[in-house]
Structure 1
Amino acid sequence: MPNPEQQKVVVYQIFTRLFGNTNTANIPWGTPEQNGVGKFNDITDKALEEIRALGVTHIWYTGVPHHAVIRDYTAYGISNDDPDVVKGRAGSPYAVKDYYTVNPDLAEDPARRLEEFKALLERTHRAGMKVLIDIVPNHVARRYEGKNNPEGVSDFGANDDTSVTYARDNNFYYNPGESFRVPEPLDGYRPLGGEAHPLADGQFEEVPAKWTGNGSRLAQPHFHDWYETVKINYGIRPDGSKDFDELPQDFAGKGYQEHQAFWQDKSVPDSWKKFRDIALYWIDMGVDGFRFDMAEMVPVEFWSYLNSAIKTKNPDAFLLAEVYNPSLYRQYLHMGKMDYLYDKVELYDTLKNIMQGHGSTDHIVHIQNGLADIEHHMLHFLENHDEQRIASPDFAGSAQKGKPAMVVSATISTSPTLIYFGQEVGEPGAERAGFGSPTRTSIFDYIGVPHHQRWVNNHQYDGGQLRPEEKELRDFYQRLLTFTLNSPALMGRYQEIHSHNRAHTEYYNDRVFSFARWSDGEKLLIVSNFDAENTFGFDLALPRELVAAWGLADGDYMLKDQLYQTASTQLQIRNGEGRTRVTLPPLASMIYQLQ
């Protein structure tokens, strides 16, 4: 077993509202009474034991902070939210209404909702896994109401000067003299599917109008804007200039301690302090890290300020950011002190194209070369709540087509791997839940997740209702992920051998990808076939420099597959070069270990 500091990280994303729901009605726009809703308490010791056994080190509980919802919780001192500025019936987890408590939908007893979350936190830690939750610094719900603020903490906007568009210590941007207007609906959209509701009247009172979360400055945002949210002001003036101190460039090479010291004597915008206090509140509770939503829409200096404060409190905190602009990657890692970023627009998008049959594995080579200096920090995934399910017709149409991509994604670098709940049983995201359309499992409504529910098996969490192909798929994921946790080579060196084989190996093609991973005690050759129709057989070549790096003398060696332990092949080293016969059925992968 590798040293924990030198072990792969596997993050399992749970959409908390959906995970434990066993109701299968799936009525569009259905209420919790009709469609059910998952609870913190559904995620039992048994569920956590099985997730850990899948090969998971961290659980990201999505949708924990209290966000705007349509259900009436006025009996608990919570104001009703307006369907005109809430997406779906259950609401978006990215329109947070109160950062100092949790979503009342997730509690058996809403009055004890925070205690129920703390109990889940303790259960997860007992099961040997760490806990991540979301923080969404770029925007909050259209009507933010902090009913649970610690002493001395004021609400977002409570002290704003609303007579001006911008002031450094305002939490929001304003359009003085204009009132907010609900967007014009498109494609026949009606809140709650047209159901009568006392607040669903096409009106929402907000005077003056605030700028919308995605940056729209219109008093009436477009229907496709993030109209359910308002943009947070971090001291960026409307012309884009910065109203705060900037970091010296040499801070890219400095640790969080120096970043923390830099900000100690600086005056910073009020929004910075509010989000620092929020993050430290959750760290103090025992949360082990955060997934930061749309981090690139917030200035990198704020991240230096926030993340250095978090790391000062907990040096092992896990800080993951959603950043989609590759030109910003190094800035947000080095200057912003992020641990990890989504590898979305490079590896994920490329693998998706290959899985769909219109991309070449040749492109993977350039991506890994271009990210070589930061490969450890680029979290890999094939699914998450924002992306289409692999099995949906608009993506690959088959969960089986995810297998070779999953092997490559999980083994090509030292970076963390992310799995979305239900991915391991081939969830297709086919439900019409209400707001939005299928292919993604809904994050806006109350819905059942059918393949995953067969694994849940009425909270037995034993896969008792899974179909044979779903059991086989979950077994594949478990074999792969547990192997990655226990492989020192996957935290070691990497060399692609794809280019060499494209140039020198007959029958090798751009539906196949191959590379080597190694450490002092383990040497691996990994080969994947992305083609769903054809078996490929070829004499895989090991270039001279790899043979030298592995210290192999001329002779014959045995290679044994580590995924299923059933296949083996002979590696022949002659004159300092290697050859081994590989036969890959459709969508198969081999993780060969040198014996």
Structure 2
Amino acid sequence: MTEKISIYQVLPRLFGNQNKKPIPNGNIHENGCGKFNDFTPQALEKTRNLGINYIWYTGIIRHATTTNYPKLKSQDQCIVKGKAGSPYAITDYYDVNPDLAVDVSQRMKEFEELIERTNAAGMKTIIDFIPNHVSRDYNSLNKPKGIQDLGETDNKNQSFNPQNNFYYLPGEDLKLDFCEQQKYIENPAKFSGNDCFHAHPQITDWYETIKLNYGVDVQNHYQQHFSPIPNTWERMLEILKFWTAKNIHGFRCDMVEMVPVAFWAWAIPQVKKINPEILFIGEVYQPQLYEAYIKEGKFDYLYDKVGLYDQLKAVLRGEKPASTLSDSWKSLQGLDEYMLRFLENHDEQRIPSSYFAGQAEKAIPAMLLSATMHNGPIMTYFGQEFGEAAQGSTGFSGDDSRTTIFDYWNVETIQKWRGKSAYSGSGLNSSQKLLQKEYQKILKLSINNPIIANGEFYDLTWANRYNHHFYHNHVFAYFRSFEKKCLLFILNFSDKTLEQKVIIPGHALEFAQKDTTKLKDQVFKNVFSKENIKLPYYTMVNDGISVNLKPYYYQVFEF
């Protein structure tokens, strides 16, 4: 039996920052910055106690920034988003972000000590791997001896060469029309990270990045040139091996679908020879590509964003009935166990915002479903468990209901959780504390119960499609079964108290029991209370189990 994976995504730059009055677009001296050392043993213990077994530290590898350090030059503001810079515009794959170190000269050692503390707290470390693009000002000062730098051997007179690391526009200078004081010179100009194939990217492009060349001729019908192995493949495998040797436990791989499947099929098995347990999680948004990246590309898990996330968001906003959630799992065609579920991450709006649910508590049933519907991982974004709203303008990020990844800023609910003493929660109000307890209940149930980590799924909403007493617009019901034990989940996505009857058909019990000769009356034991409901077999399959559902809440029974 395995423990279900429960991931906590956190930006160290923001996590430990105690400045309560940062100013929009402020620099590091004005606004402050969190450090590796803010993840104390006590902070990590409290995070583990939430029901977490993996931490995704976002923004570890050194990236473009406007902040100067001795022997580490800053980048031109024209090619940096915000003062702090995007964690996805890497300037040195073999270094860590100096902003996060107390002693900049010891920054790698401080990160290695963070990995050790994370392990000691009973959790494992995930970092980003950004394979599609790097900063326009990429230059590795810390690469191991004998390793080429990206672009070092490129033929810059050719727009495309399978052995080049970048794509070029010979004879053209980079022109950033939106930046009036461009000092950065790039000649020849390179393709920008979002497949922008000209020398004058706009502010809506990934203008701060340049695209890596994996042997795909993007301007000639995306023809593939994979033999001999492209130079970029070798360089990126070296990077993966470097970080694997640091005793990390996983890579969250950025914009996977912009990198050919063949590269992953070649690289991932080689990394797993070093550490068979290391995870590869892919950010993919095109469902038609899921099977290729899982079966051929060897990814462990992929984002379930355009499936379950989008469906749940629509249900919480009253735009779709709860019954449409059945379409989400069916569309995966058996790939459910490979999907990473979440309600928040750095790309998405916070739950309490008007763009999403408008209130953190409304998402409680959605979080339970995301965590327990199938075997794949569940992810929580730091501050989500307290109802972080990410209100106000921060600088480059603006006021978009997202926690900024571009600015030196704070996260108010994390500051309140830290309180006057270390991570006591003394600054949280009563509703924030109650929300945290709900997340803890859900996540601990997820990682501690083998039924959720290993069991099969049965959709009772679909089974009740002809039940006229079932609130199809507001209720979703399912059960999970493992070794003849079951958990029944009944979720209410409405703002009203509902009396709901859920029929559990004979086929469902046969599915769970695997032995039709032993079908019998059942006792349903409430997982979170002392309530027991005993039902004769014929009542269960004909009339159903009757439960009271509070607004935006749930009932969970073991049977």
Pairing of 1:192-591 with structure 2 (within 5 A): 201-237=181-217, 238-245=219-226, 267-438=228-399, 439-458=401-420, 460-490=422-452, 491-520=454-483, 522-531=485-494, 533-551=495-513, 556-562=521-527, 564-574=528-538, 577=541, 579-591=544-556
What are the superposed Cα offsets for residues 66-97 of structure 1, whole Å, 9 maximum, x if unpaired? 00011111x1x112211111001000000000
| Aligned-partner residue type, residue 92 of structure 2 | D
| Cα deviation, residue 554, structure 1 | 7.0
Distance change in 2, residues 1:507/1:319 (3 Å): closer
- Please tell me whether the aligned partners of residues 401 and 530 of structure 1 are also in contact (alpha carbons under 8 angstroms): yes
Partner-residue secondary structure (3-state), 2:423: coil
* Residue number in structure 2 paired with 1:195: none
Q: CA deviation at 1:342?
A: 0.1
Q: Please give the secondary structure, in 2, of the residue aligned with 1:577.
A: helix
Offset of residue 267 of structure 1: 2.6
Q: Give the superposition deviation at 1:243.
A: 4.0
Corresponding residue for residue 592 of structure 1: 557
Of the candidates 3, 6, 14, which is equivalent to residue 7 of structure 1? Answer: 3
With 144-153 and 570-579 compared, the bigger mean Cα shift is at: 570-579
Show the counterpart of 1:193: none
- Measure how far apart 1:223 and its partner are: 1.2
Q: Cα gap change, 1:568/1:425 in structure 2, threshold over 3 Å: closer, same or farther?
A: farther
1:550 to 1:161, Cα distance in 2 relative to 1, 3 A: closer
Q: Contact conserved, 2:156 with 2:168, CA < 8 A, in 1?
A: yes
Native 8 Å contact 2:420 2:427 kept in 1: no
Asked if the contact 1:497–1:514 (Cα under 8 Å) also holds between the matched residues in 2, the reply is yes
Change (3 A) 1:571 1:453: farther
Change (3 A) 1:498 1:279: same
> What percentage of residue pairs aligned between the two structures are identical?
39
CA drift of 1:458 comes to 4.9
Structure 1 range deviating more: 31-40 or 273-282: 31-40
Question: Match of 1:218, SS?
Answer: coil
Deviation at 1:183, TM superposition (A): 3.7
Opposite residue 137 of structure 1, the aligned amino acid is: P
Equivalent of residue 52 in structure 1, options 45, 48, 63:
48
Q: Which residue of 1 aligns with 2:99?
A: 105
Deviation at 1:31, TM superposition (A): 1.7
Find the residue that maps to 1:574 and give its secondary structure: helix
- 5 Å-filtered alignment, 1:75-86, equals 75=70, 77-86=71-80
TM-score by length of 2: 0.96
Question: Compared with structure 1, are the counterparts of its residues 22 and 569 closer, same or farther at alpha carbon in structure 2 (3 Å cutoff)?
Answer: farther
Distance 2:86 2:421 in 1: 26
- How many angstroms apart in 1 are the aligned matches of 2:407 and 2:387? 21
Conserved? CA contact 1:53–1:478, under 8 Å = yes
Instruction: Judge which range, 564-573 or 471-480, deviates more.
Output: 564-573
SS of 1:591's equivalent? strand
Residue 432 of structure 1 aligns with an amino acid whose one-letter code is S
Using a 3 Å threshold, how does the CA distance of structure 1 residues 278 and 550 change in structure 2: closer, same or farther? closer
Deviations 1:479-522 (A, max 9, x none): 11111111122121111010232311415222110001111153
Shift of 1:7: 2.1
Q: Helix, strand or coil: the match of 1:345?
A: helix
Counterpart CA distance in 1 for 2:315 and 2:16 is 33
Amino acid at match of 2:507: E
TM-score in terms of structure 1 length = 0.90
Could you tell me whether the CA contact under 8 Å between 2:503 and 2:540 is conserved in 1? no
Within 1, Cα distance between the matches of 2:456 and 2:27? 51
Does the 8 A contact of 2:484 with 2:512 survive in 1?
A: no
Distance in 1 between the 2:99 and 2:341 partners?
30
Distance 2:309 2:530 in 1: 30
Could you tell me whether the CA contact under 8 Å between 2:397 and 2:405 is conserved in 1?
A: no
Mapped contact 1:181–1:203 kept (Cα < 8 A): no
Find the residue that maps to 1:504 and give its secondary structure. coil
Give 1:100 shift: 0.4
SS in 1 for 2:117: helix
Aligned residues: 552
Pick closer, same or farther for the CA change 1:386–1:567 going to 2, 3 Å.
Answer: farther
How large is the Cα RMSD of the aligned pairs?
1.6
Residue matched to 2:58: 62
Shift of residue 363 of structure 1?
Answer: 1.6
Match for 1:130 among 124, 132, 146? 124
Partner of 1:148: 142
Specify every segment of 5 or more residues in structure 2 that has no aligned partner in the other structure, as ranges.
none
CA distance in 1, matches of 2:346, 2:420: 23
Identify the range of structure 1 (453-462 vs 298-307) with the bigger mean alpha-carbon deviation: 453-462
Rounded Cα–Cα distance in structure 1 between residues aligned with 2:420 and 2:119: 24
Answer yes or no: is the 8 Å Cα contact 1:20–1:39 preserved in 2. yes
SS in 1 for 2:488: strand
- The 8 Å contact of residues 301 and 336 in structure 1, kept in 2 or not, is answered as yes
Residue of structure 1 in register with 2:13 after alignment: 17
Question: Does the 8 Å contact 1:182/1:203 carry over to 2?
Answer: no
**Do 2:457 and 2:479's aligned partners in 1 also have CA atoms closer than 8 Å?**
yes
Distance in structure 2 (CA, Å) of the matches to 1:571 and 1:443: 52
SS at match of 2:363: helix
User: For the residues of structure 1 that align with 2:38 and 2:93, how far apart are their CA atoms?
Assistant: 23
Secondary structure of the structure 1 residue equivalent to 2:214:
coil
In structure 2, how many angstroms separate the alpha carbons of the residues matched to 1:94 and 1:133?
12
Residue correspondence of structure 1 range 80-95 to structure 2 within 5 A? 80-95=74-89
Deviation at 1:535, TM superposition (A): 1.1
Letter in 2 for 1:565: S
Q: Secondary structure at the match of 1:180?
A: coil
Cα deviations across residues 150-171 of structure 1 (Å, max 9, x unaligned)? 0011221121111110111111
Name the SS of the counterpart of 1:503 in structure 2. coil
Residue 572 (structure 1) shift: 3.3
Change (3 A) 1:351 1:576: closer
The residue that corresponds to 1:72 in the other structure is 68
Question: Structure 1 residues 584 and 108, CA, compared in 2 at 3 Å: closer, same or farther?
Answer: same
| Alpha-carbon distance between aligned partners in 2 of 1:458 and 1:309, rounded to the nearest angstrom | 47
Displacement of 1:241 in angstroms is: 3.9
Question: Please, which runs of 5 or more residues in structure 1 have no aligned partner?
Answer: 186-199, 246-265
CA distance in 2, matches of 1:443, 1:535: 39
8 A Cα contact 1:162 1:174, kept in partner: yes
CA deviation map 1:130-173 (0-9, x unaligned): 11100101000011010001001122112111111011111110
